[in-house]
Structure 1
Amino acid sequence: MTDYRSRYERWLASDAVDEATKAELRAIAEDEKEIEDRFYKDLEFGTGGLRGILDAGTNRMNVYTVRRATQGLANYLLMKDPQAKEKGVAIAYDSRHQSDVFALETAAVFNGNGIKAYVFESLRPTPELSFAVRTLGCKGGIVITASHNPSKYNGYKAYWEDGCQVPPPMDEEIIQEVEKVDLFDGVRVMPRREAEEAGLFVSIGEELDGQYIDVVKSQLLDPEMVRAHAADLTVVYTPLHGTGNRLVRRALAECGFTNVHVVPEQEEPDGDFPTVPYPNPEDVRAFGPAIALGEQVGADILIATDPDADRVGIMVKTDTGYQHFTGNMTGVLLSSYILEARKKTGHLPADGFLVKTIVTTEMIRALTDAYGVELKEVLTGFKYIGQQILEAEKAGRGTYLFGFEESFGYLSGTYARDKDAVSASLLICEMAAVYKAKNQTLLDALHELYETYGYYRETLVSFTFEGIEGIAKMNSLMDELRKHPQASYGGLKVLECKDYADGLDGLPPSNVLRFTLENNSWFCARPSGTEPKIKFYFGVKGESQAGAEAAVKRLQDDVTKTIK
């Protein structure tokens, strides 16, 4: 009998497993492949937490795997800080299926270990969780979300006391604690009523919302211009059935953006995400209903936030319709706007710095060089950007100005330590209103930057590998790239190959390869930390828009052909 079979049968035999779960498992009794996939391993508590398909099984998201992860994290908190019980943790959740259930289960385990839990009364954006951890002085935090994944997924992100997702080596230490916990016998829980009576379960919400919105509004760079021109900007907004609706609209309204139209069929939270194939603003298909509404009301800009409202995407009105901006395009625009606004008002500090990830556009380097500010580069994952803020604070030097990653994540300010689509939506609208007052669109502003710094183009291709065989294929593919790289790709000579597996450039070890090519071009291979796929990132610089687009396509096609 294989190990996955013994695990399956243990679930069926255990008194700790509820009858509904057992019925679900009995229904797959004749599907050996399904049993194998659900039980061949434990759902890994990775560097950011859990993420998986919603089902019964050790390799799935369910109340049992959530409890086990929480028990391991509780053990770690208590081991690290005797005051963790009183400091407590903050817990938030999004609109996905069972998010509210998992949030309460998480609180029950923390409470069972004597740790106070501050639980949001209803769904909230991920960045507000980061803010709450810092504001309440918690030892850590949890948000139940699978971000922009399809509806069959849910997840569990773990945060530390600075409001940042747990960094290395702490993440590995937590993983070790989780692995020590027996799924059924090693978990302590406390019923909610008992926890409330003991002062261990505390409901939070409206007061934190007000404090959070106040700091979001404080990120405005030109309040006078906003007051004068906010109402002139026509905005279509969609929360994509997620958590952003109430707070994005509140932030915009309180800053004078009154001409905001919300996509009605995507306004209400819905874990099925029925109007989109993929609830991700990186995917232009998610904007379908927003485009229709935008054309109807003559919107200048369309804005979409992902289900947990930490990522934001935009489309901008042009003479031929609406153009979808990549995360790199929006990030460069925001960086330029922030730097120029600070320079004009005399608030560009000599020790100012921006942060980008190693797979984010190189155009930002030309921009920071022009303004004389430092650019710091980190691994993929916003926690590494948050870590740079913390290190600057500890060192007592360095002023954080802005950080972003190509995957539509942006943060202005240090009130939170994760990407914030609420704040970014407000800054994008400020920027759009200021440019509109000059009779310019954001596309006009972007082309001015291209003319100044060069025509940069980036793209991303993903290869998905499901199941046990998929893991082997991903490992084999990365090994092949490591051991047998080509001399050139897309007609561009390889100048350098960086392997971050053992740590490089002062960064933690990571399974990432980055190829630097001639003509300011590059590509990067990185297995996803949250999905069964390898992502390939490509970047080029051209003499013209058409030249850059042709060059990035040649590079992408050549690497893709090699992989296939």
Structure 2
Amino acid sequence: MTTPEDAGDLFAPTAAWRAEDPDPATVATLDALVEAARTGDPAALGELRSAFAGPLAFGTAGLRGPLGPGPARMNRVVVARAAVGLARYLLDTGQAGGRVLIGHDARHHSDVFARDTAGIIAGHGLDAVLLDGPIPTPVIAYGIRALGCAAAVVVTASHNPATDNGYKVYLGDGSQIIPPADADIAARIAAVSHEPVRALPRAGFRTAGPELVDRYVARAASLLSTPRAEALSATASRPLRWVYTPMHGVGLATVRRVLEAAGLPAPAVVTAQATPDPDFPTLPFPNPEEPGALDLALDLAARTDADLVVAHDPDADRCAVALPGPDGWRMLRGDELGVLLAADLLQSHPTGVYASSVVSSTLLARMCAAAGARHVTTLTGFKWIGRVPDLTFGYEEALGYCTDPAAVADKDGITTLVRVLDLAGRCADEGRTLADALDAVMRAHGLHATAQLAFRSEHPEVITAAMQRLRTAIPTTLAGEPVRATELRDGTADLPPTDAVVLAGRTTRVVVRPSGTEPKLKCYLEVWMTPDESSDLAAARTHAAARLAALGVEVTGVLGLGTESS
């Protein structure tokens, strides 16, 4: 057991941190932790060791982590140093005087972090423009190109727990940072780690008016394939009925404006989740993928005889859709909605460029080959998908869809919603549903079924050890068929290096990788059948579900970890 004497090495850095921290709330938290640690409280000692173990890594999504004092937590000191690192990177790369757009969600301290960032960016001579008030992340991503920005920052932890916050950084091409920019910014952050935070240069900044949101709303509304009246469908037997939840996030106000501008029908909104609330009181976890997250929306859908449910994550860049079926309501997997939207776009853009991430289903590649379109596989994340040249549409299985890449080079839950409602209306004109349209895709190209296993651990060494076990004992067969391993750690001819292993067989595929934003090891499972084998879709889905379950057991045995499955 750690004793107060053993923790003596903690108290000097905590005192130095306290002197730099401008936030009375985190200072009070730190004082309470130090006082408890001095009495030997093991929880306080553990939290101090964790919070001061090292800097919060600046990488995949900029910064993301728990709120609290210390260099390994999200707080005003860490955010200030991140802002300096970004500002100095922009100056060093010839962006002096460039515009930097800054926005934030409604999480705890997001507004304060955004204002600190704007002041420091302006203090370095850059043109800092703050969108004052909570705003969906896609609006900021749109604004980068629309306003000719050199960079942008969104203070958000997206779908992470209420205790977290984050710091997404975008460059002037409209996508989030990739190597070497992330490492270059991180190096500049490290270089200021010993500079007094209170002495960092700050200056006044501009606050954006409503024009940017107005332009985004008009652009999103323009994505309808044909102008639609309030009923959405001129020939359907009744207007579309649908349910929407922003999951206590910031999507509702912008969504309502887009619907009105597009002439789309208003939804029944989950009242208990309509107002932004950083505590997410009705949700076990503010992520549409998590079990129970859509319970209130599905209950409202059943009571209102709705045709579909749409949910956004708290910053509205991810989009989930649920549909009714013979066995009740079911949320579409990210791969299912991705190929459904792609199939629709392939009708009007058959020679376009389509992209999906390496952890997503292989079905989109087969669809593009059949249509004569080009398909590109990228690493995980829209920082890669959004940069595919001449992109028509891109998606990844984690409910992210780039549906208007000419305007937003990132995932966008709001324009995805427009595309979904538009397609639902056209299906209704034809006497079909979205479920019917998805079935048609699966019959034409063969059923592709996917599932995910997630191994959560707060100890990074557990995840590292599991990846090492996999690499030293690569299975030669999975699901009864031979598989070939592809190591992505060193990169391939088509993909930059990433910490992942792909195991592929004739009708089976598994990708194993550590998450870039959560303390999880993730396994993406896929099985598929031929069109002939998929003629009876109900039987094919039952068979595929059994194969996925058996595959999950095999993979769990190889890695030797307890799982969360989805």
TM-score normalised according to structure 2 size: 0.90
C-alpha distance in structure 1 between counterparts of 2:144 and 2:331, whole Å: 34
User: Out of 212, 217, 223, which is 2:216 matched to?
Assistant: 212
Equivalent residue for 1:318?
325
Partner of 1:482: 471
Ranges in structure 1 where 5+ consecutive residues have no aligned partner: 196-200, 343-347, 393-398
In 2: Cα distance, 1:328 partner to 1:449 partner? 12
The reply to whether residue 27 of structure 1 matches residue 28 of structure 2 is no
Matched letter for residue 63 of structure 2? L
Aligned equivalents of 2:328, 2:259: Cα separation in 1: 24
Counterparts of 2:21 and 2:166 in 1: how far apart (Å)? 22
- One-letter amino acid of the structure 2 residue matched with residue 380 of structure 1: T
- Counterpart code for 2:276: P
- 5 Å-filtered alignment, 1:94-243, equals 94-182=105-193, 184-185=195-196, 189=200, 195=204, 201-223=205-227, 226=232, 228=234, 232-243=239-250
* 1:228-256 deviation line (CA, Å, top 9, x unaligned): 36981111111111111011122123222
1:186 and 1:275 map into 2 onto residues whose CA distance is 37
1:267-297 Cα offsets, whole Å, 9 max, x none, are 1000001111111112251111111211222
Distance 2:445 2:20 in 1: 65
Q: Map of 1:229-378 to 2, 5 A cutoff?
A: 232-340=239-347, 342=348, 348=349, 350=351, 352-378=352-378
CA 1:42–1:220 in structure 2 vs 1: closer, same or farther (change >3 Å)? same
Matched residue, 1:401: 392
Deviates more, 1:163-172 or 1:55-64: 163-172
Deviation of residue 489 (structure 1)? 2.5
Q: Secondary structure at the match of 2:511?
A: strand
Structure 2 unaligned segments of length 5 or more: list them. Answer: 1-6, 38-43, 534-539, 561-566
1:306–1:75 CA distance, 2 compared to 1 (3 A): same
Match of 2:4 in 1: none
Report what 2:41 is aligned to: none
- Residue in structure 1 matched with residue 77 of structure 2 by the alignment: 64
Can you list the C-alpha shifts for 1:186-231, whole angstroms capped at 9, x where unaligned? 675456xx61xxxxx1111421111111211222223369563698
1:447-466 correspondence to structure 2 within 5 Å: 447-466=439-458
Partner of 1:396: none
Residue 385 of structure 1 deviates from its aligned partner by 0.8
Matching residue's letter, 1:533: K
Q: Return closer, same or farther for 1:265/1:71 CA change in 2, 3 Å cut-off.
A: same
> Alignment RMSD, CA only?
1.9
Q: Distance in 2 between matches of 1:284 and 1:438?
A: 33
Query: Given the alignment, which residue of 458, 472, 475 partners 2:461?
Result: 472
Which residue of the partner structure matches residue 503 of structure 1?
491
- Which one-letter code corresponds to 1:404 in the other structure? Y
Q: Hey, what's the Cα distance between the residues in 2 that align with 1:530 and 1:433?
A: 36
CA distance in structure 1 between the partners assigned to 2:132 and 2:198 by the alignment: 25
Matched residue SS, 2:324: strand
Tell me, yes or no, if the aligned pair for 1:310 and 1:421 is still in contact at 8 Å.
Answer: yes
- Rate the CA distance shift 1:433–1:3 in 2: closer, same or farther, 3 A: farther
Answer whether contact 1:221 1:338 (CA < 8 A) is retained. no
Say if 1:518 and 1:227 are closer, same or farther in 2 by CA, change over 3 A: closer
Question: Residues 84 and 139 of structure 1 are in contact (CA less than 8 Å); yes or no, is this contact kept in structure 2?
Answer: no
Counterpart CA distance in 2 for 1:369 and 1:224 is 32
Q: Once structures 1 and 2 are overlaid, which stretch shifts more, 497-506 or 90-99?
A: 497-506
Aligned amino acid, residue 439 of structure 1: G
- Provide the secondary structure at the position in 2 that maps to 1:322: strand
Q: % of aligned pairs identical?
A: 35
SS of the residue corresponding to residue 26 of structure 1 reads helix
- Once the two structures are TM-superposed, the CA of residue 400 in structure 1 deviates from its matched residue by 2.2
Partner of 1:395: none
Q: Is the 8 A contact 1:5 1:39 kept in 2?
A: no
Which residue does 2:501 correspond to in 1? 513
Higher helix fraction: Structure 1 or Structure 2?
A: 1
Cα gap change, 1:406 to 1:445, in 2 (>3 Å): same
